[in-house]
Structure 1
Amino acid sequence: MAGVLPPTLPPPPSLLTFSDHTSYSRPLNSSSFSIFTARNRFLFRCLAKKKISFADQILDYIEGGPKLRRWYGAPELLPKDGSAVDDEDEDKDSDEIRDAVLVTDGDSEIGQMVILSLIVKRTRVKALVKDKRAALEAFGTYVESMAGDTRDKPFLKRALRGVRTIICPNEGFLSNAGSLKGVQHVILLSQLSVYKGAGGIQALMRGNAVNKAEKEESTLVASGIPYTIIRAGLLQNTPGGNQGFSFKEGSAAKGTLGKEDAAFICVEAIDSVPQGGFSFEVVNGEEKVSDWKEYLLGLMDKAGQKPQ
């Protein structure tokens, strides 16, 4: 069924499976990183060319490093300075086509899940990272990784060049960044409902998190840029595709959502751009979604918004 995350299955050793619909499995003792699909499945033999250190194996487990390059044939040469390409020309034409998706906090676990989903969809990807060299090792040349201070106008301008959509898998970017001129859609994965729903000691501990998340959402709403706020339940490290979903109001405060499912929904929201902005809650539940674009347009309509 199109649009439904398939269950993550234990892969056979040294095999890679992938197509146009994504889920992930990362076995420590296997040289494969499995991507599963509901249809058009292909098998590729993925063999290690040489022994790697234990530390490198751990990095591969976390980031999918050299494996991703073997899938797509990206070069394995790494410049000494850790940069994939020279910095973009400051005088580059500002009227260039905006077809890229910028992922903020690309070093984070869920940020990497979003990036991998975008790569499989053959999307042009840019990512804000803390370690540019590590990002290149993880994703090769299929991601334009950038490290810098988003409060710095020249850096932010370079980061946003050619960007159509921004996906924020965590809070923190929007409230600190400057102008997002030219961006046509911002997708924010928010944990505000979870923070507000906490009680007792957790409520005290999450006080700062609530303020940060509220500031992030209010900054986005005030920006004037079309936005989609995905208020997810408590994010958990559960395999994607094993459960359905629930979009009931108030569900995010007490429910949970797998990180893989959350990353998948962020990517699916790219093509559903509202004229203004809207938000919805989502947790894992019983409802199956066969057509995400149609479903998101329905949620948009309920929120009183029309698509572009």
Structure 2
Amino acid sequence: MTTPLQVFVTGATGRTGSLVCQKLQQHPQQFTLRGFARNSEKVQQLFGTKDNFFFGDIRDPKTLIKALEGCSTLVILTSATPQMKGMPQPGMRPEFTFPNDEIPQVIDYQGQVNQIDAAKASGVNHIVLVGSMGGTNENHPLNSLGNGNILIWKRKAEQYLIDSGIDYTIIRAGGLLDQPGGKRELLVGKNDTMLINPPDGIPTSIPRADVAEVVVQALLEPNARNKAFDLISQPEDAPGTVVTTDFVALFAQTTPGL
């Protein structure tokens, strides 16, 4: 009988992170989950227990190193979150900002660097990083939110992971949907080509649940290692599409490098 993979998930209480944790918990013979979060009350609310959860801050490497002890795999699901500045005036677009200590440079770059360095020091041999499409375009609208350049900092962190020497899987998701997973055909690409020329003009989006499933499958499939790719889905009702169940074939379409 094989020993379950010890998987450490950061951002465990986020909307996608919690789905990844729940999927891992459903397969105890394959995975042992260790979650990492800042808020213990939120963990209790989401999972009904604090067992196997560690509490700390990705900005503090010391809390990461202790929590990562004994884990073979790290899944990074942390991200800076913009906040709306008050209520917008009628007819005006809302403005966004980031708390001073939670700007993308701190969370999406340095926070991820801290995680990668801690994983390397702890003997982790595989890191799955969930990022966002759009990082090839410095003028992408997301970069203007709070003047945070969030996609630029995410892209720099991805390069740092590739250069770390640890096996990596970088999943750059399209627009995230709070819809059921397992009902769509998934599509992979590279360098935002599907943003520039969407296949058949479809929305460049994907349910969070499908992203979570790809994360879990990447932990199991050797051909997902040392790959970086964009990920979207066909609309659920698109004619002629086949729901993705063969993840070996999906990962075979992906390539190494940023």
**SS at structure 2 position matched to 1:180:** helix
TM-score using structure 2 length = 0.68
How far did residue 138 of structure 1 move? 2.9
State which structure, 1 or 2, has the greater radius of gyration over its C-alpha atoms.
1
Aligned to 2:205: 256
Aligned residue pair count: 205
Please tell me the residue identity of whatever aligns with 2:134.
V
Please tell me the residue identity of whatever aligns with 1:145.
F
1:233-248 to 2 correspondence within 5 Å?
A: 233-248=174-189
Where in structure 1 are there 5+ consecutive unaligned residues? 1-96
1:23-102 to 2 correspondence within 5 Å?
A: 99-102=5-8
| 1:224-267 per-position Cα deviation (integer Å, ceiling 9, x unaligned) | 10000112111122221232112244225661111111111111
State which of 174, 177, 180 in structure 1 corresponds to 2:119. Answer: 180
**Hey, what's the Cα distance between the residues in 2 that align with 1:197 and 1:143?**
41
**SS at structure 2 position matched to 1:187:** strand
CA separation of 1:127/1:200 partners in 2, compared to 1, >3 Å: closer, same or farther?
closer
Aligned to 1:268: 217
CA separation of 1:213/1:189 partners in 2, compared to 1, >3 Å: closer, same or farther?
same
Is residue 211 from structure 1 mapped to residue 145 from structure 2 by the alignment? no
Richer in helix (by share) = 2
How far did residue 221 of structure 1 move? 1.1
Q: Tell me whether 270-279 or 194-203 shows the greater mean CA deviation.
A: 194-203
**8 Å CA contact retained: 1:125, 1:142:** no
Aligned to 1:144: 52
TM-score using structure 1 length = 0.58
CA separation of 1:121/1:185 partners in 2, compared to 1, >3 Å: closer, same or farther?
same
Aligned to 2:230: 281
CA separation of 1:143/1:226 partners in 2, compared to 1, >3 Å: closer, same or farther?
farther
**Hey, what's the Cα distance between the residues in 2 that align with 1:223 and 1:243?**
34
| Aligned-pair identity (%) | 24
Aligned to 2:37: 129
**SS at structure 2 position matched to 1:174:** helix
How far did residue 203 of structure 1 move? 5.1
How far did residue 112 of structure 1 move? 0.5
Aligned to 2:96: none
**8 Å CA contact retained: 1:269, 1:293:** no
How far did residue 196 of structure 1 move? 4.6
Aligned to 2:103: none
Where in structure 2 are there 5+ consecutive unaligned residues? 80-107, 199-203, 235-240
Please tell me the residue identity of whatever aligns with 1:217.
E
